[in-house]
Chains A and B, each alone.
Chain A
Amino acid sequence: MRISAGLAAVTIAVALIGTPAFATAAQIRGASAEQEDGAARPELARRVAADSALEARATRLAAELRCPVCQGLSIQDSPSPLALQMKDLIRTQVGQGRSDAEIRGYFVSRYGEWVLLQPRARGFNLLVYILPAMALVAGFALVLLAIKKWTVPAGERRASLPDG
């Protein structure tokens, strides 16, 4: 009985914490849809937006690229005018039959590797990929050491136990 009450409390807390996030996400999406419809857009971008398979590709690419005028948002997630224009440019390039690598390459040639939200795994960037794994291994080692230390050998335990 106590356990289920606790579970309910946790569920309610999580739901309460999560609600504002959903609201803002919906608002942003609404705002961007408004602007997308209002602005004059190239014909090719419009056609790609209407094609669900091509639009899915454009959306996936936009989610990989950093919005230059935002803090840590992708082009896909940002409602800023420049991000919307960049999304349209991605659509246009998709419509022109460019490959994913070509489109990514275009943005890297203009903005540098900085524009990729997921850095390429090479050179100094490798640290980003290696360090977490190393930290995990080191953490495991620490925990093992600590457990070993906390565990009192069987012989000593009997001696140290209080009478009774």
Chain B
Amino acid sequence: MANKKIDSETGVETVGHEWDGIEELNNPLPRWWLLTFYACILFAIGYVIVYPAIPMLTKGTEGLWGWSSRGSLAAETAKAEASRKTLLAQLTATPIEQLAQNPELMRAAVSGGKAAFKVNCVQCHGSGAAGSTGYPNLNDDDWLYGGNLKEIEQTITHGIRQPGDDQTRPGALMPSFGRDGILTAAQIQDTVSFVRTLSGKEQASAGSARGAALYAANCVACHGPDGKGNRQLGAPNLTDAIWLYGDSRDAIAGSVTNAHAGVMPAWTTKLDTATIRMLAAYVHSLGGGEKFGLTPAPASAPTSAPTSAQAAAPAAAAPANAKP
């Protein structure tokens, strides 16, 4: 170069610029640095050829190796599916009554059900399956429709009060005694007094005596003469400590006045048999599951069980809700 400037102190050529008297030495790059740099360029060329890299109009180049992040996700998913295949097939082939005879399969089902529960069920039943007002708690030993594995599976499969599903849990529709003018406000208060004596929440009183007569006339068909409910109708037991919509006078009066009719989806349209069995096994394992054949028969079950919600509408009350 013609105007080569040499720094007098070090004898090194400068880059030729000057800022307020400060100049920059033009030292050569270390050899290892240059070699690394060239190696990086070579690597980049190779990368662009074998991996997706260059954006085109509609999509990018795909690269020689055909790698894609979607593809690797699909491969991983397929691998996970393949590893679960035997288990799922086994679950599908095993009737739920026989699940308990295979402890290993049962354990797998419970842990699989735990995962499926977190995806499908927690929205209503809560992450700890403890439910909330109107959404049953699945940990306790009170079951509206029965708590053995078979009954739970049936409830999950066909849901509760699902239109279009023949086998859905019938769930009688409780009349809105107050809103529809069947009972007066005072009569409802008397009925509430009587109902609360059933579970020992109140002492017998003049009101509860009047309520007993009203109960016998309006409620026994579903809830039974002793108030123990009816699982075939999903009519809750009124003598126990568990109240889906609350046990205060106001809450019970509200139920009698306006009635409740909880619903639950029929999961058979969304989940496969194996997943439903896993869910049933998990719910059953939460501590309140019942054994086969131990289901206590309701003391005064109606002789003919209604087969659908429409048919099951005697003038009887069920603050019914989905409780698998």
Chain B associates with chain A = no
Give A residues with C-beta under 8 Å from B.
Answer: none
